[in-house]
Amino acid sequence: ALSGIMKLVAEAEASKSPTQLLADRAASFLFYAAVAAALITAVVWTLIYGGLDGRTVARVVTVLVIACPHALGLAIPLVVANTTSIAAQNGILIRQREAIDTAKDLNVVVFDKTGTLTTGQMGVAEMLTVESVTDDRALALAAAVEGDSEHPMARAIRESAEGRNLEIPDPASFEALKGRGVRATIEGTDVFVGGPRLLESMNIVVPPALDAFATTAGGRGESVVYVIEGTAPVAAIAISDIVRPESAEAINALKKRGVRVGMITGDSDDVAQAVAGTLGLDIVFSQVLPADKDAYVTQLQEQGDRVGMVGDGVNDAPALVRSDIGIAIGSGTDVAVQSADLVLVKSDPREVVKILRLSKASYRKQLQNIWWGAGYNVLAIPAAAGVLVPWGFDMPPAVGAIFMSVSTIVVAVNAQLLRRLDLNAE
C-alpha cells in the first residue's frame, strides 16, 4: 500500500498542470527576451560611446545574469511539491495533477448516496408479508436469492436471515437484473428481489398494504425491496442505512463556498427526498440505473456546471470518469479508485472540502510566484541594461547576480509558506 501511495505522489509531481505549462512558456520567452535585451544593450551603448568598451560589456553581462529564468523555472514545481506533500499528509492522493488545480473551479459536487453520504452498513429494519407467507419464509427466500450478490442490501438481508438461524434454500440459478434486482430459481419457482424498477419492468402492482408499508419506510429514509415469488409480491423489506454524522457538516461547508451539492442514488424518490431533506441537498437524482449515472453528470455539465463526482462503487466509475473531477472514497472498489482523479483515504465527505481549500491555496501561490518571477524581470532587465545610468545608478554584474539569487529565494520561500496552510480551518 505504501509503495502504491509513493507511486501516486511521484506521478502527481511529474505531471504538468496548465499553470506549469504557462510558467514553462514564460521561462522560454524570457530566454529570448534576455538575448534580445542584451543585443539591444550592446548596440545602444556602443552607439552612445562611439565604440565597444568595458562598461558596455559589463551591462550586457549584467542583463544576461539578472535575466536567468531560475525563479520562473522553480515557480510552479516548488508549489507542486508542497501541494502534493500536504495532500498526502491529509489523506488525499492525487492521481491526476490537473485535478487539484481545477478543483477550485467546481460549482457542483455530486455524491453517491450509499457508502459515501451514508455508512453503507445496512440492516433490515422491518418487513411486512402477505397473509399466506411468514416473515421467516420470505426472509429465507430473499437471502437465498441474494446469496451471490455483493450489494450492501443483499448483505443486510443475508445477515438478518443468519441472525434468525433460518434454513436458507439453495438456488438452482442466479441472475443479476441490471439496475433492477436479482432473480434465482428456488424449488422450481422463479423468485425475484428488487426495488420499484423491478416492479415496473414486470408490470406488477403490489397489494395496498405493502405499498403503504413502503411509503412509510421511504419517509423514514429506509430503502424497500420486494420479494416476488413467481409473479406475486409476497413481502416488502425495509433496509436502513445510517447517514454519516459528518455528511451534513461537509455539505454545509461546501454550500458556504458557493458550491451546489447533489446526490445520485438508485433508491426510490421517497428515500432520496428523506435523505436530501436531512442533509439540505440542492440536487437529487433518484431511481437512477447504474449505467445512467454518468448521463446525469453530463446533464449538469451541459448546463454549464463544473461537476465533481464523489463515489465508491463499481457503478460510480463511469460518472467518476465523466465528471470534471472524479473523487473516490479510499474504502471503495478498485474500479472506482482507478477511475478517479483524486482518492480520499478516509471515508469522510468533509475531505472534499479540504480538496477545494488546497486547490485554491495552491493556485494562489502559483500565481504569486509567476507574477513575482515575471515582474522582477520586467523591472530588473531595464535597470541592468543601464536605463538608470543618467540618474547615477549603474548595476555591476555582481549586484545583478545577487538580485537574481534573491528572486529565486523569494519564490522558494513563498512556496514553503504553503506548508502553513491548515486544511481544517474555515
> Among the options 24, 53, 101, 112, which is catalytic?
112
Backbone angles phi, psi at 226, to 5 degrees: -110, 145
Q: How many residues does the chain have?
A: 426
| Positive/negative CA dihedral, 348, 349, 354, 355 | positive
End-to-end C-alpha distance for the chain, whole angstroms: 31
Q: What is the grid cell recorded at 225?
A: 425491496
Q: What is the DSSP secondary-structure string of 365-425?
A: HHHHHHHHHHHHHHHHHHHHTTTTGGGT----HHHHHHHHHHHHHHHHHHHHGGGG--TT-
Q: Is 98 exposed, middle or buried (0-12, 13-18, 19+ CB in 10 A)?
A: middle
- Report whether 63 contacts 384 (CB < 8 A): yes
Backbone angles phi, psi at 55, to 5 degrees: -65, -40
Q: What is the grid cell recorded at 149?
A: 450478490
Question: Is 334 an active-site residue?
Answer: no
For cell 532587465, the residue is 381
Q: How far apart are the C-alpha atoms of 264 and 297, rounded to whole Å? A: 9
As annotated, the active-site residues are 112
